Structure 1
Amino acid sequence: MTTDIHSAFFPGNPDLAPVLMLHGTGGDESDLLPIATFLFPEHPKLGIRGRVSENGSNRYFIRHEDGSFDLENLKQETDWLLNTIEKETQCYQLDAKQLIVLGFSNGANIAAYAWLNQPTTFKTAVLLHPMMITPPQQTRNLSGYRAFATYGDVDPIVSEDNFDQLMSQLQNAQASVEVFKNHQSHHLTQTELMAAQSWIKNL
């Protein structure tokens, strides 16, 4: 695990909310740039790479060989990510309170976990194919938080039951959640991105 921060900043209109890109397993800090550009063409964009390596693939937290997650590491890496977000937003003079998270898979998972388990500056998120890692220890008040979340009904990684549990956890915490379910696997499609785009336009 590296202590270095790998980030990438793509300037945009400083009057618009900055977008934080959190990649899926095997991605990096600029991996989601085409998606972010489609959804948020004029916004400044910041990508932060997960510092865990799984067989050479970048991730935000450790997954054991049997597919289970290292919850101790998850908590540690969530702390690291939130601290890194604070450092990097200051470095690029971005308003952390206005941040919109764009997370895919592993990146969406850690964003949702952070919301449910500790205070975060970001209150808006596009969560593409997230899953619930573990039920939250305590109920947080996410009133004023809003998320757009997508699920594919033939996803081999995320079960519908797991996805629905995560959505329930967010809604029970008073977050405003819009769910988009589609006939697809664990990958991004034009259909879901168009749905995300229309949700963003109504923010």
Structure 2
Amino acid sequence: MAGYQYREGQGATADAPLFFVFHGTGGDENQFFDLAGELVPGARVIAPRGDVSEGGALRYFRRTGEGVFDMDDLARRAAAMVDFVATTKARYEGAKLIGLGYSNGANILATVQFGAPDLFDATVLMHPLIPFAPPKADFVGRRVLITAGQRDPMAPASTTQQLADYFTASGAEASLFWHAGGHELRQEELLETQRFLTPFRG
């Protein structure tokens, strides 16, 4: 499939959930690949590699500073990701579509959702930062889990709460899970993610 270098799991059944995972800045398609298989055994895991380099660190879109997004670039690359995900989904008619992203990966995943609210059935946004007002959208029937650190220096708690409120106000079944730390992933949020994704297991 053109557009992204990606890793795709093998051996899943035709009706298995499609599980897209999006790495953080400096990661690659391997960062969450094995974790996805543990969270939802039997899922068809697809992990696209970010195609922007920031000083050698891979990302999904450009930024001009910490927390300052290149909005034109974000719009272009989010549209390209929508096409990539939708094209993959079309190959597996009827399969549930779930997504997980961390940091920059959570930001591209959330922006994809803003542009295509009916694409994903459920998403996990880990430590997202959306420093702009998302567009009006209808997320009725969609599930969203946001995980975050109360002392995250990169993603202010107020901005995270605003994103959770946005999804709730837009009709999603949205929940927000906090841990007491910063931008790092912690075991308790992985356990919460596992619980959230239980309906897609088996």
TM-score when normalising by structure 2? 0.89
Whether the 8 Å CA contact 1:132–1:165 is kept in 2: the answer is no
Deviation string 1:2-41 (CA, Å, 9 cap, x unpaired) is x852011012432321100111111111211132122112
| Other-structure match for 1:141 | 138
C-alpha distance in 2, partners of 1:120/1:70?
25
| Other-structure match for 1:178 | 175
Letter in 1 for 2:171: Q
| Other-structure match for 2:189 | 192
Q: Percent identity?
A: 30
C-alpha distance in 1, partners of 2:47/2:110?
17
| Other-structure match for 2:6 | 7
1:116 and 2:114 correspond = yes
SS class of match (1:47)? strand
C-alpha distance in 2, partners of 1:96/1:71?
33
| Other-structure match for 2:101 | 103
C-alpha distance in 2, partners of 1:96/1:45?
16
SS class of match (2:109)? helix
User: Higher relative CO (CA 8 A, sep ≥ 6), structure 1 or 2?
Assistant: 2
C-alpha distance in 2, partners of 1:202/1:84?
25
Whether the 8 Å CA contact 2:179–2:186 is kept in 1: the answer is no
Whether the 8 Å CA contact 1:99–1:122 is kept in 2: the answer is yes
SS class of match (1:108)? helix
C-alpha distance in 2, partners of 1:186/1:125?
19
Shift of 1:96: 7.7
1:47 and 2:47 correspond = yes
Identify which of 117, 137, 161 aligns with 1:164: 161
C-alpha distance in 2, partners of 1:95/1:31?
27
**Structure 2 spans left out of the alignment, 5+ residues:** none
TM-score when normalising by structure 1? 0.89
The Cα RMSD (Å) is 1.9
How many pairs does the alignment contain?
Answer: 198
C-alpha distance in 2, partners of 1:49/1:113?
16
Gap change, CA 1:170 and 1:12, over 3 Å in 2: farther
Shift of 1:53: 1.1
Letter in 1 for 2:134: P
**Structure 1 spans left out of the alignment, 5+ residues:** none
| Other-structure match for 2:149 | 152
